[in-house]
Amino acid sequence: MDIISDMLTIVQERNGGIKPTHLMYKANLSHNQMKVYLNELIKKNLIEKNAVKNGVRIIITKHGRDFLLQYIRMKEFEKTFGL
């Protein structure tokens, strides 16, 4: 869950989309991990791939933004109550 939210946070920061390799470096993931998580996120409609002139850009969906907001609130809640 934390890896997924890290990836979503990074993608959200780049409004115009991020290259998969940049996402991999920024999220501290190996190539294999990246592939697995990226597929998972696309399957759950949290992010989508956009084909552009010089390759592929990953962007966050509305569902992804909502999920990230809920997740950050959950973390804040857990920390407040020491759970």
In the complex, minimum distance from the CB of residue 14 to another protein, in angstroms, rounded to a whole number: 11
CA–CA distance, 10 with 26 (Å, rounded to integer): 7
Torsion of CA 50, 53, 56, 62, to 10 degrees: -30
CA-based nearest residue to 63, from 43, 37, 44, 39: 44
In the complex, minimum distance from the CB of residue 3 to another protein, in angstroms, rounded to a whole number: 6
13 vs 45, which CB is nearer to another protein? 13
27 vs 57, which CB is nearer to another protein? 27
Residue numbers of the site for another protein (CB under 8 A)? 1-3, 5-6, 9-10, 13, 26-28, 69-83
